[in-house]
Structure 1
Amino acid sequence: MSKSIDDFHVAHIYKDSSMDSKQYQNGGNTQSQILSLALSIAQQTQKVNDYLQSKNLPFPSVAPSAHSHLPLPPELMSSQFAVVEACTELAALMEGPLNHLTTITSPRANIMMALQAIHRFNIASSISVDEEISYANLATRCKMDPTDLRRILQLAVSNLVFQEIRPGYIAHTTISHLIATDATVKSWIALVTEEMWPPASRGVDAMATWPNSQNLHETAFSLVNGGVSFWEAIKEGNRGRRFADGMKYLGKLPGFDVQHLIHALQFKEGKEEVLVDIGGSEGDIAVRLVEHFPRLKVIVQDLDEVIEGIKETELPICVGGRLEFMKHDMFTVQPVANADVYFLRSILHDWPDKYAISIIKNLVLALKAGAKVILNEVCLPEEPGMVPMYHAQLLYGYDLAMKHQFNGKERRIVEWEELFQKADPRFKMGRVVSMPGSLLSVIEFVWKPEDHTIESI
């Protein structure tokens, strides 16, 4: 490695949290742990409550009209996360080992079946926003057996998806109303239950059959899809649209908010710069960048079928001539030479190392000295205990999802550097920045051709 991890500028996601995850994982005094967690929950909740009250904002609720996110400023998001993290750990400790093991197996696993039924039978969309409907009438609307429907929804209700406001009658909560009315939420539920959950059940079979494979057809997804890779499958019917909309759903979550990216990016003041957004889909991120950086031009690249479906007339007027769309396959040589930044957001984690290296290599001929390749990707913790339990569950859960879908992976900082060094040693790692509240880091690599004289590709 050219630098140690300590040399990098790393602003940790939970640096503002009052919780130190290691103190809850070191096997210390249990009474001290549970009391510390409970006190922290109370303190951090008080901060959130006081803010909402002072601004006359609504308190959290399951009502259909409630906010999809808590309306908190960035400085209070750490309190929000601290409460969720501490509640997760406190619940596990208070349950005890056997009860906690039971909780994370049977009951939680079956919620995926309930969500799949809600998707397939279009249950959420069959209920009006303020309606109270009997199980029998709802079953008729959804063309389901009433007993099956009731059993599905009872588990969903226990997870705040719908509410049984009086015996035998169902109504919406915030979550179920979002499933009914927000196309991206609906697509996310479909993507998870139809494309991700079934392969997850075959993940171990795939590992046993093809240990550490980098073949796109040797995945758990392929096992349940007749040998077809994920990237081949999403060309069928509406599966590609469902995937794209599911990714838009993730973009709405606070941890994936593009505002974190905007705050972490650095451009030279007063200088016009060009950024190439590789695999930028329909330009949602690009529009936000152009709106925020008035001297930035963005070229969005994606496959033919994606670019052909974009209606440029629907783009915001403010982007002017600073946003361009281009058909490009990232496994071919980059056609835009001498740009200032080549940007990939949540792209390389979809691919095994050999494919990710190929994507990087295809940039080399286009790079000018000092050009940056900027990733917006997950950075896994370098060692155990660096992040709280709840956050670790998210990150390592995403990592396994990448494995069973594509043989992709989430990577640690050292693995990102190794990847770029294998592609070309003239890449030098720059800043690594994780904004508080963000699940994605900004990882910079600078092209320094003067440091080596080798064949590019």
Structure 2
Amino acid sequence: MGSLSTAGVNDPSSPSILGLAQNILSAAQDITKYLQVNKLPEPSFSLESQDPPHDHPEYRRLHASLKANLEDLQLLIDGPRKWLRAFCCTGYDLGALQVALDFDFFQHVPAHGDIAVEDLANKAGLDVDRTSRIIRQLRTYRIFEELQPRRVSHSPSSLVIQQDEQLRAVVHYSLDEMLKAAADCNVSLKANPHEAHQNLNPFVTRHGVGIFEFYQKDPEKARRFAKAMAGLRKMDSHLDFLLKDGFNWSALKGTVVDVGGGNGHISKSLAQIYPDLDFIVQDSNADMLAEGKESLTQDLAPRVQYMHHSFFDPQPVKNAAAFLIRQCTHNWADKDVVTIFKAFVPGLENSSPETPLLINDIIIPEPGTWPRHQERNVRQVDMVMLVNCGAKQRTKAEFEQLLKQADERYEIKNVFDDGPLGLLEVYLRR
């Protein structure tokens, strides 16, 4: 027998099966050691298992290394044909998941215990054959279990969908509205290959109206969408670290204007950390403003105000310490973003030259500068914006171009882009 070759083991440009396996072992050992040192539970497939600590920066770093190597190993051992075949059939699996949500499978299966597949079908109002087939497909993804023949029980994934209404809304709206719109990407782009905006995109092609009008016309789905957005904010809370830690908030004195701030969850979070700062939350959605105001605690009420204002209109607040716009620009086409940036100019002109405009959004990296799975995550959000709003996520250069179109005096002073949600620190030159 010949000896086992180690060629390419340490060559990242030409990974080998053995090299990737060794990297996986090393990363798995590092994660296990980190969990033990920090007295954190190891993930498991038991129903009592807790989510991994993705709010820990060091865990996120170790997780990224392990996942990158795991993905490359799978691609290498599958080869492109087998991988593409599986990837292209994912839509069928998502169809099974949508049925499970629409027919309330997650609620009908008891949290602890099991249910006969015939009883589940009866409760769901679906025939036994298709109920069983859908459950058995989902269990291959560890969604539900069949530990005894024809007895359905929960897995950790299905149990968290049952118990977390906001997460359930995230999954359900993604399949019910968004996946259907994504399926019409080719139709929409063929009809309009050179133009896109709020009223011209795949969502409109599929549903007949833009996303905001769609939810105005369907209150039930609007409520689900609102729950989904709250769920996403909770799931992505670890993305706030660049906003909180990247910028020196302690250097500011006065009032921060949170433009398009919704219910003000970010302003309230910053207000708790920086007691010397006051906040004005602006939004055009009166319901979101009312919700935020009602949820204010006594200690924050004097320092967090709410103002009805559209970010397309000239900024009325003067003498601000900073203006913040967070995860808003990605909802709009370039010409609309130019209008938004123009609207900040009166507020900046009537404030100190040291007053920044802080743009907190994904900053798309150049290809290959991030690990593939991390780059995929932010480019996936870019595709979400293409489908739903005819809009996009942008690179630093694209942001700079739009700022200059709005006003030549805009200058980007600092770029914080070493996280999935970046931050641009912009000033109006005097």
**Residue in 1 aligned with 2:172?**
190
Residue 388 and residue 55 in structure 1: after superposition, are their counterparts in 2 closer, same or farther (change >3 A)?
A: closer
State the distance in 1 between where 2:180 and 2:55 align: 36
Do the aligned residues in 2 keep the contact of 1:349 with 1:409 (CA within 8 Å)?
Answer: yes
Residue 129 and residue 398 in structure 1: after superposition, are their counterparts in 2 closer, same or farther (change >3 A)?
A: same
Report how far residue 268 of structure 1 moved. 4.1
Q: Deviations over 1:217-276 (max 9, x none)?
A: 2211111112x111211212133333332222222335753234211121244x523211
State the distance in 2 between where 1:317 and 1:344 align: 26
State the distance in 2 between where 1:260 and 1:445 align: 15
Percent identity, aligned pairs only, is 25
The AA in structure 2 aligned to 1:123 is: F
Report how far residue 443 of structure 1 moved. 1.3
Higher relative contact order (CA 8 A, sep 6+): 1
Residue 290 and residue 329 in structure 1: after superposition, are their counterparts in 2 closer, same or farther (change >3 A)?
A: same
State the distance in 1 between where 2:201 and 2:283 align: 24
Do the aligned residues in 1 keep the contact of 2:46 with 2:155 (CA within 8 Å)?
Answer: yes
The equivalent position to 1:324 in structure 2, one of 295, 305, 328, is 305
State the distance in 2 between where 1:333 and 1:126 align: 52
The AA in structure 2 aligned to 1:381 is: P
Residue 87 and residue 318 in structure 1: after superposition, are their counterparts in 2 closer, same or farther (change >3 A)?
A: farther
Unmatched runs of 5 consecutive residues or more in structure 2: 1-9
Do the aligned residues in 2 keep the contact of 1:255 with 1:439 (CA within 8 Å)?
Answer: no
Q: Any residues of structure 2 matched to 1:276-355 within 5 Å, and which?
A: 276-307=257-288, 309-310=290-291, 312-355=293-336
The AA in structure 1 aligned to 2:318 is: A
Q: Any residues of structure 2 matched to 1:99-110 within 5 Å, and which?
A: 99-106=82-89, 108-110=90-92
3-state SS in 2 of match to 1:333: coil
3-state SS in 2 of match to 1:111: helix
Report how far residue 190 of structure 1 moved. 2.0
CA RMSD of aligned residues (A): 2.1
Matched, 1:379 2:363: yes
Report how far residue 77 of structure 1 moved. 1.8
3-state SS in 2 of match to 1:238: helix
Report how far residue 109 of structure 1 moved. 2.0
Do the aligned residues in 2 keep the contact of 1:333 with 1:362 (CA within 8 Å)?
Answer: yes
Residue 363 and residue 71 in structure 1: after superposition, are their counterparts in 2 closer, same or farther (change >3 A)?
A: closer
Figure out how many residues of one structure are paired with residues of the other and give that number: 417
Matched, 1:366 2:350: no
State the distance in 2 between where 1:55 and 1:364 align: 47
3-state SS in 1 of match to 2:249: coil
**Residue in 2 aligned with 1:403?**
386
The equivalent position to 1:113 in structure 2, one of 77, 89, 95, is 95
Report how far residue 141 of structure 1 moved. 1.6
The equivalent position to 2:203 in structure 1, one of 201, 205, 221, is 221
Do the aligned residues in 2 keep the contact of 1:215 with 1:407 (CA within 8 Å)?
Answer: yes
The AA in structure 1 aligned to 2:45 is: V
Residue 273 and residue 85 in structure 1: after superposition, are their counterparts in 2 closer, same or farther (change >3 A)?
A: farther
Q: Deviations over 1:140-164 (max 9, x none)?
A: 1222222222222222211222222
TM-score by length of 2: 0.91
Matched, 1:253 2:253: no
3-state SS in 2 of match to 1:224: helix
Unmatched runs of 5 consecutive residues or more in structure 1: 1-21, 451-457
**Residue in 2 aligned with 1:5?**
none
Residue 109 and residue 62 in structure 1: after superposition, are their counterparts in 2 closer, same or farther (change >3 A)?
A: same
Report how far residue 408 of structure 1 moved. 0.7
Moved more, 192-201 or 125-134: 125-134
Matched, 1:94 2:116: no
State the distance in 2 between where 1:296 and 1:334 align: 20
State the distance in 2 between where 1:73 and 1:374 align: 25
The AA in structure 2 aligned to 1:39 is: Q
**Residue in 2 aligned with 1:50?**
33
TM-score by length of 1: 0.86
Residue 90 and residue 354 in structure 1: after superposition, are their counterparts in 2 closer, same or farther (change >3 A)?
A: same
Do the aligned residues in 2 keep the contact of 1:381 with 1:412 (CA within 8 Å)?
Answer: yes
State the distance in 1 between where 2:282 and 2:398 align: 26
Residue 380 and residue 259 in structure 1: after superposition, are their counterparts in 2 closer, same or farther (change >3 A)?
A: closer
Moved more, 68-77 or 42-51: 68-77
Report how far residue 308 of structure 1 moved. 5.3
**Residue in 1 aligned with 2:6?**
none
Q: Deviations over 1:102-158 (max 9, x none)?
A: 12111x222221221122112212222212112111111222222222222222211
3-state SS in 2 of match to 1:257: helix
**Residue in 2 aligned with 1:4?**
none
**Residue in 1 aligned with 2:337?**
356
The AA in structure 1 aligned to 2:24 is: I
The AA in structure 2 aligned to 1:57 is: L
Residue 71 and residue 204 in structure 1: after superposition, are their counterparts in 2 closer, same or farther (change >3 A)?
A: closer
The AA in structure 1 aligned to 2:397 is: V
